[in-house]
Amino acid sequence: MYDVIVVGARCAGSPLAMLLARRGHKVLVVDRATFPSDTVSTHYIHQAGLSRLKDWGILDRLVATGVPPMRHLNFSYSDIYLNGFADPIDGITEVYSPRRTVLDEILVDEARGAGAEVLEGFTVTDLVFSEDRAAGIRGRIGDGPEQEFSARFVVGADGRNSTVAGLVGAEIYRSIPAACFVYYSYYSGLDWEFQHRTGSEPQQFGVWPTHNDQHLVAVMRRRDRLREFRADIDGSFQEIFDQIDPALGADIRANGKREENFRAMSYPDNFYRRSAGPGWALVGDAGYHKDPFTGWGITDALKYTEVLAEKLHEGLSGERSIDEAVVEYVKIRDAESNGTFELTCSLAELSLTPYYDSVFRATSMSPEYTTKFFGLIAGGIPGEEFFAPSNLEKLYEEVGMPADRRILTQS
């Protein structure tokens, strides 16, 4: 009998298993993948996420893999340019975009090293229930025999199409339709800094360095243009660079060499799903999923898995009822992630609302506020602080924003 079984062993599941095992709990984490394993993700980690890895003693190990640091970020929204970097967050002064084959394998290994049992290649097909509580899992490795494991508590860290969520009937209680599709791949031959560039047409490209002296190169457009994009994938991909930044378009045409096949995805909708019930919880994308436009999936998975670990520990050590403790994790997650969720869903439409246009335009005219903007993006400055009307009033005053452009709230 395990204290906790975790289904899914990537950025939410493995750290949860690691943190619980470090506290002396008996943990099993299973994943149908075998590691190293890739997944569709452009893998940018914010300072707030890196600070979790640092706290857990894993960051040095990640940096030692040779993942290139980024210390200057270039954002644009149409004709608004925001270039700079956030102030340090918990001593973190640079960011990374590690390949998931590298990051996830480290996380799995750290869970194992902490004493958690890790079962790779194991697909969960069913849950065990006892007296209306989740009490274990059933599944198998490949075509092997069905196996059953029991536990005091089961966590679904199994991604946005969560099997655990389906088996416990966890419903989605907040949903915003997805706007876009993405195509991305890995390029050699580029020496670009981080670029996150949205055009005056609703389209975007993102480029940043990753492992193997390569750059992750991604484009996004709204879904209604997918058919047209697919008709000439290479041409459409190049066209987005040419239209948003002709100089970078010329550079990628002349010097960029695509090293792998394109990965493509039409995004699933943004959602919050009921994430706690008798004997079970959901963490990471399983419980709360949003468009990758702001690159917050991994950081949030790391952040809230730590909250869940703390609450599970309180329950497992008998300080309080485990189910009550886990409900509190959900409350914290929902309250703290709301700003990121709303900002992400709005920006992922690929055209700024008049409110965000005014705020970002004014921000771009102030070096101080530009640094604050990067603090917001990196997780160092809460949205409630950055977007506080009093803060925006000060900003508009400082940059001499015309009175009719001083929008203080998102309608």
Ligand X SMILES: Cc1cc2nc3c(=O)[nH]c(=O)nc-3n(C[C@H](O)[C@H](O)[C@H](O)COP(=O)(O)OP(=O)(O)OC[C@H]3O[C@@H](n4cnc5c(N)ncnc54)[C@H](O)[C@@H]3O)c2cc1C
CB of 27 to ligand X, least distance (A): 15
Residue from the set 136, 277, 297, 315 that interacts with ligand X by CB under 6 A: 297
User: Is 306 an interacting residue with respect to ligand X (CB under 6 A)?
Assistant: no
Q: CA 101, 105, 110 angle in degrees (round to 5)?
A: 160
User: Is 176 an interacting residue with respect to ligand X (CB under 6 A)?
Assistant: no
Nearest to 330 by CA among 269, 291, 274: 274
State the number of binding residues for ligand X (CB under 6 A): 35
Give the dihedral sign, CA 258/261/266/270.
negative
CB of 85 to ligand X, least distance (A): 17
Q: Which of residues 129-168 bind ligand X (CB under 6 A)?
A: 157-159, 163
Residue from the set 98, 279, 292, 380 that interacts with ligand X by CB under 6 A: 292
User: Is 330 an interacting residue with respect to ligand X (CB under 6 A)?
Assistant: no
CB of 44 to ligand X, least distance (A): 4
User: Is 110 an interacting residue with respect to ligand X (CB under 6 A)?
Assistant: no
Residue from the set 25, 32, 196, 361 that interacts with ligand X by CB under 6 A: 32
Do β-strands 2-7 and 147-156 pair in parallel, antiparallel, or remain unpaired?
Answer: parallel
User: Is 386 an interacting residue with respect to ligand X (CB under 6 A)?
Assistant: no
Q: Are 197 and 307 in contact (CB under 8 A)?
A: no
CB of 107 to ligand X, least distance (A): 9
Residue from the set 299, 337, 358, 364 that interacts with ligand X by CB under 6 A: 299
Residue from the set 5, 21, 298, 348 that interacts with ligand X by CB under 6 A: 298
Sorted by sequence, the CB contacts under 8 Å of residue 360 that are 6+ apart come out as 77, 80, 82, 352, 373
CB of 116 to ligand X, least distance (A): 15
Name the residues that contact ligand X, by CB under 6 A: 7-13, 30-33, 39-44, 123-124, 157-159, 163, 182, 265, 284-286, 292, 295-299, 301
